Every structure is written in C-alpha cells, then in structure tokens.
Homo-oligomer: A and B are copies of this chain.
Amino acid sequence: MSDIIEPRVLKGFRDYLPDAERARSSLVKKLEKTFESFGFVPIDTPSLEYAEILLGKGGGETDKQVYRFKDHGERDVALRFDLTVPFARFMAEHVEELYLPFRRFHIAKVWRGENTQRGRYREFMQCDFDIVGTDSASADADIVLVIAKAMKALDVGDIRIRINHRGLFNRFLAAAGCSGKSVAILRIVDKLEKIGVQETASLLSAEVGEELASSILSFIQPEKGFQETLAKMFGFCSPNDAEAIAARDRLLDVYEIAQAAGCAEAVELDPSITRGLDYYTGVVFETFLTAMPKIGSVCSGGRYNELASLYTTKKLPGVGASIGLDRLLAALDALGRSTISQSDPKVLVANQGSAKTTELHAAAANLRNRGVSAEVFPESKKLLAQYGYAEKKGIPYALLLDESSLSSGHYPLRDLARRSTIDFSSFEELVAFLGGSKE
C-alpha cells in the first residue's frame, strides 16, 4: 500500500470534471457555430514545434515562460504559447494551397509556465479568429460583427465593443509634436481604466508637461456618440494629414457597416484603447460585458500589417481577435447563465432487479432511436441510490420498469425534482412527454 503514488496534477494545470467540461464544450460549440456562420473555417496546428519557429532566430534569449526542451532526436522543441505564431507559420507554409482572403478560427490549448500566484494557469485554451490577405474596412467590421453575434449566442447580456485606430492616436501625437514619447504616453494611457483620470493626468504631466497632458486627456475621453468622438479626435490632428484622414475614414466605414448589420449600439469609439505597442497597426478592439466590466475584456484584437514576415516575404495583412474563454466561462457562471446544451442525459432506466436487463436495454435503445438520451443503471440497487446517482449527474427522469409494468405495457416515469411518478400507458406517450421524435 505504501507503493501508492499520490494522484495529483501539476501546479497551474487543471482537470475538467464533467460539469466544467460540458460548460466549456458547450461554449466552444456556440462560438464555432457563430464563426462558421460568417464563413470562418477551422484549422489545427501541432502543439509541439521547433523552438526556432515559435521563438524566432534570436532564440538564445528565450521567454522564460515557454516549455522548451530537447526531443528524442535532440531537436530543440517547444510547446506553443499562443495561436498567433503557429498561425503565421501555417500561413507562410500553406498560402499557395489556400485561398485569400483566408478566414480561420482556431480553438486549442496553449502552455505558459506563468507565475500561478496571480491565478494564472499554465495550460489554457485560446480561441482566435482572423481574416488574412485583405486590408479592408469590410474585414475589420466583420470581426466586430462576429464579436457581437458570438456574445449574443452566449446570452451574456449587453456588451460594449470599444474600438479605436492606432493610426489616429499616432497622428495626434505627431500633430502634438510628441511622437518621440509615444511609447511612454501609450503606456500611461493604457492604465486609464485602472488608475483613473487624476492619476493619469499627473503621470502624463510628469512625462510631457501640463499643457500636453491636458490635451492628451481630452483626446482620450470619449464624447456622447461614435461620430462626435471621431470628429473630436480628428480635430486634434492636422486636417490634411493623409494618414489621419485614412484612419478616420476607416473607423467611420467600420461603424457604418456595424449599423447596417444591426449591431452598432454595442460599438463605442474609445480613444484610450491602444492594445499594447508594436503588433497592431490599425483598428483595435476590446469587449466588455456590461454586467461584469471588472473582469476586463473578454475579446480583444486588431489589425496588423504583417502576419508572417518571419517566415515568408509574402505580404499578409490581417485583422483578428482572441476570445478569453476562461474569463467568459467565469462570467457565465457568475451571471448564472448555463451554457449546457440540450443533448444532456435525460432518462435513467432504473434497475430494480425484477425486470430482465435485456428489457431495460431494449427500452433505452428505443428511447435513443427516438432522440432521447437514456442510460441503463448497470446493477440492481436500491432505488434511492439510483435516484441519488441521477440527481448528481443532472438526469431529470428515472424510468421504473419492472415485471408488472412491462407485462401491462406501462411506463412509469419518476420526475426526480418533483418526486412524483407519471404512469404512461404507452411508449408513444412516454416519448411524446420526453420530447422525442415521432416514429
């Protein structure tokens, strides 16, 4: 007995028990359906890749979070830490076999040896969707429409999709004569939500002086409506600045498409959204649940000029976003929204020992053939124990077949929540009650 190995998982890793796995799987299925309704197609890539591919050639100084090791052939390999880098490699490798623009989604696990004290997991699922091979307002807008439709499918209530354009911010800084300080400024602005206006103002003042700070603060605060905010932002730029004009027009196009598709009320122009520094080049998005703003953005992304420049000379501009599945699951749980679908176990065919097991299996098979999930309790046991099993598993009904009900052709069905039994006098009545299909 002392040879028993203590069953345990690594820190930062999780088992998914049935309820948690069903919630996750149901969420993923709803997202997949939304993606597919917009013409996005699924792909998958290996979990393990050459470290050079995932980390680039300067791989000596690698990210400490990456699980990297030597495989059996002494190859330097690593577990993927996101879905973006593998997607870039994928596009560079397969672009000739595919078609452009390429709309793909990818829902899969990634691994990062993060500090678990901050509640971070070392294995988690990412959900990315992108449109690659086009630099158009139509594609930018499609990402917004997908976000709106996906959140509706998940029934999370009202959302705010905050959008901005990196180019407009840059041109404003250029007009203000402080492009050189953009990194420091963006870093401060990014904290606005967390630290508040006062603190942001004083940090900005320390960086660029009071006058410029107040101008930046004015720039990043939204007006009442999308168009009003956009006009104000553009007002800070030089009026003939072609780049600023293009950015303004792009934002307007995206907004008008959102209006045409019926989801503009969820879209907000927020000049303080910048999404980090060096990756995004155009429109950027963040998504907040009105009922739970504190959990942060549940879907973020933006436009990038070059997806795969590490692996190919082919230009691949794109736009995309990533859904935070863990955050969404936590939110759905907190909001009391069940994500579990209808295909859950429905009937336990109880085993009282007085009917032949074959009869129980015949009844279960007949129910399944009519689209009703059913399982036979495999051993004869006290009914209370079988009811307890069903309740733990979320099975609402128990079918109580015994010799007498079988010989009389009756089907007594126990409603476990109501603790009452309905006696159906035919199989057809039972099936109709359980919502099964017609014969």
Please list the residues of chain A having a beta carbon within 8 angstroms of any beta carbon in chain B.
1, 3-11, 13-18, 21-22, 24-25, 32-33, 36-39, 41-50, 52-53, 56-57, 64, 67, 69-73, 75, 77, 79, 89-90, 92-94, 97-101, 103-104, 109, 111, 113, 122-123, 131, 134, 136-139, 141-142, 145, 149, 253, 256-257, 259-263, 308, 310-313, 343-345, 348, 351, 357-362, 364-365, 368, 373-379, 388-389, 392-393, 395
In the complex the two chains form, is A38's CB within 8 Å of B375's CB? yes
Contact of A5 among B22, B134, B137, B310 (CB under 8 A): B310
Bound-state Cα–Cα, A69 to B75, Å: 13
In the complex the two chains form, is A72's CB within 8 Å of B64's CB? yes
Bound-state Cα–Cα, A175 to B18, Å: 45
CB-nearest residue of chain B to A24:
B44
In the complex the two chains form, is A138's CB within 8 Å of B351's CB? yes
Interface centre among A75, A343, A364, by most chain B C-beta atoms within 10 angstroms, is A364
Point out the residues of chain B lying under 8 angstroms from A360, CB to CB.
138
In the complex the two chains form, is A71's CB within 8 Å of B67's CB? yes
In the complex, the count of this chain's copies comes to 2
In the complex the two chains form, is B138's CB within 8 Å of A46's CB? no
Question: Nearest Cβ distance between residue A130 and chain B, in whole angstroms?
Answer: 13
Contact of A97 among B8, B17, B41, B49 (CB under 8 A): B17
Contact of A257 among B137, B361, B373 (CB under 8 A): B361
Point out the residues of chain B lying under 8 angstroms from A39, CB to CB.
345, 348, 373-375, 393, 395
In the complex the two chains form, is A357's CB within 8 Å of B47's CB? no
In the complex the two chains form, is B41's CB within 8 Å of A393's CB? yes
In the complex the two chains form, is A48's CB within 8 Å of B123's CB? yes
In the complex the two chains form, is A50's CB within 8 Å of B8's CB? yes
Question: Nearest Cβ distance between residue A357 and chain B, in whole angstroms?
Answer: 5
Bound-state Cα–Cα, A388 to B99, Å: 9
In the complex the two chains form, is B111's CB within 8 Å of A257's CB? no
Contact of A142 among B92, B113, B259, B378 (CB under 8 A): B378
In the complex the two chains form, is B18's CB within 8 Å of A42's CB? yes
Q: With A260-B358, A365-B260 given, is the CB distance from A136 to B379 under 8 Å?
A: yes
Q: With A149-B368, A361-B261 given, is the CB distance from A48 to B33 under 8 Å?
A: no
Bound-state Cα–Cα, A264 to B100, Å: 50
Q: Can you list 22 contacts pairing A with B, beta carbon distance less than 8 Å?
A: A7-B308, A13-B46, A13-B49, A15-B43, A16-B43, A18-B104, A21-B41, A24-B44, A25-B32, A37-B373, A39-B345, A48-B79, A69-B70, A99-B388, A99-B393, A131-B378, A138-B351, A138-B360, A138-B361, A145-B365, A257-B357, A261-B362
Bound-state Cα–Cα, A364 to B260, Å: 10
In the complex the two chains form, is A260's CB within 8 Å of B42's CB? no
In the complex the two chains form, is A99's CB within 8 Å of B389's CB? yes
Point out the residues of chain B lying under 8 angstroms from A103, CB to CB.
375
In the complex the two chains form, is A15's CB within 8 Å of B90's CB? yes
Point out the residues of chain B lying under 8 angstroms from A14, CB to CB.
46
In the complex the two chains form, is B373's CB within 8 Å of A311's CB? no
Bound-state Cα–Cα, A53 to B13, Å: 14
CB-nearest residue of chain B to A367:
B37
Q: With A21-B43, A43-B17, A260-B362 given, is the CB distance from A72 to B5 under 8 Å?
A: no
Q: List 13 additional A-B contacts (Cβ < 8 Å) besides A9-B45, A99-B388, A100-B389.
A: A4-B312, A5-B310, A7-B89, A18-B41, A18-B98, A21-B43, A24-B44, A33-B343, A36-B343, A64-B72, A67-B69, A134-B378, A139-B378
Point out the residues of chain B lying under 8 angstroms from A89, CB to CB.
7
In the complex the two chains form, is A311's CB within 8 Å of B5's CB? yes
